Amino acid sequence: MTHRIAIAGSSGRMGRMLIEAVLAADDCQLVAALDRPDSPALGQDAGAFLGQATGVAISADIPAALAQADYLIDFTRPEGTMAHLRACRAAGVKAVIGTTGFSDEQKAEIAAIARDVAVVMAPNMSVGVNVVLKLLDVAARALKEGYDIEIIEAHHRHKVDAPSGTALKMGEVVAAALGRDLKQCAVYGREGVTGERDPSTIGFATVRGGDIVGDHTVLFAGTGERIEITHKSSSRATYAQGSLRAVRFLAGKACGLYGMDHVLGMA
């Protein structure tokens, strides 16, 4: 079976990685590449950055792109993803969403759209991070008492949202395992005279610099010992390969909102 794929944000860091992965996959066909209406890349061949002619020109015409596609893979920004998803619902095109930084209202709208069309959404498509999420559930349940929990993430200088979607997901997993609500217990940075640490909190620290692809550590700090569970990405190819696994998973689904835990058989 050939999966006909449109890529949104095709000139972005992930967009390019996805185009390369789709072109290399025997069971996938690149049928459209989208960018913003003011992008200087419009009209260029989607494979130009690889020195490859694909015959697919980068365009801003969302309905025309989706008319040729069975799937859209979207790593853009929340407002872009929402516009693309509404068009996916209208066109009956399944979606893989990697974008992070959605508001609660946007997440609710995505869930509503997924009642009509199948969607995989995950803040991190790598197999490794999704295994780490399972490890965190086990660790948090075992370390319920006497351990302070801090989540530290580091990314490249171009990242616009903080904490990362992955760090927030890690916080949600840990909070759920402890029976806490992340919205009530998260502390996003500290400054000045903060007072002693409240043991019921989950702290977040964000580092931005250079070309760091994506590092995440969850620290369980007790008395006399500490446990650190760390994942480090050294290539965006893992996110692209995870996205193609999500496309193949969606082939068998008509509607519903799924995560990478479903795709990887770990739900």
Ligand X SMILES: O=C(O)C1=N[C@H](C(=O)O)C[C@H](O)C1
Ligand Y SMILES: NC(=O)C1=CN([C@@H]2O[C@H](COP(=O)(O)OP(=O)(O)OC[C@H]3O[C@@H](n4cnc5c(N)ncnc54)[C@H](OP(=O)(O)O)[C@@H]3O)[C@@H](O)[C@H]2O)C=CC1
Nearer to ligand Y (CB atom), residue 19 or residue 229: 19
Q: Which of 3, 84, 155, 216 is catalytic?
A: 155
d(CA 230, CA 252): 33
**Closest to 239 (Cα-Cα) out of 81, 80, 123, 156:** 123
**Number of Cβ within a 10 Å radius of residue 59:** 20
Is 159 among the residues known to form the active site?
yes
Asked if 125 touches ligand Y (CB under 6 A), the answer is yes
Q: How far is CA 240 from CA 74, 102, 130, 136, 218, in A?
A: 11, 20, 14, 24, 24
* Nearer residue to ligand Y within complex by CB, 75 or 220: 75
Q: Which of 3, 84, 159, 216 is catalytic?
A: 159
Helix 127-142 / helix 165-178 crossing angle, nearest 10 deg: 30
Residue bearing tokens 């930084």: 101
Could you say which DSSP state residue 195 is in? -
The span of 43-51, 120-128, 171-179, 201-209 binding ligand Y (CB under 6 A) equals: 120-128
Per CB under 6 A, the segment of 50-58, 133-141, 160-168, 201-209 that binds ligand X is 160-168
Per-residue x/- track, 119-158, ligand X (CB under 6 A): ----xx------------------------------x---
Active site residue 84: no
Strands 202-208, 186-188: parallel, antiparallel or unpaired by DSSP?
Answer: parallel
- Residue from 36, 208, 245, 262 that binds ligand Y (CB under 6 A)? 36
Cβ closer to ligand Y: 211 or 225?
A: 211
Q: Which residue has the tokens 């964000």?
A: 206
- The answer to whether residue 10 forms part of the interface with ligand X (CB under 6 A) is no
Token pair 């990362």 in the structure block, residue? 164
> CA nearest 118: which of 256, 7, 252, 5?
256
Q: Which residues bind ligand X (CB under 6 A)?
A: 100, 123-124, 155, 159, 164-166, 214
Q: Which residues bind ligand Y (CB under 6 A)?
A: 9, 11-15, 35-36, 39, 75-77, 79-80, 98-101, 122-125, 165, 239
Q: Which residues are catalytic?
A: 155, 159
Binding-site residues for NAD(+) sit at 9-14, 35, 98-100, 122-125
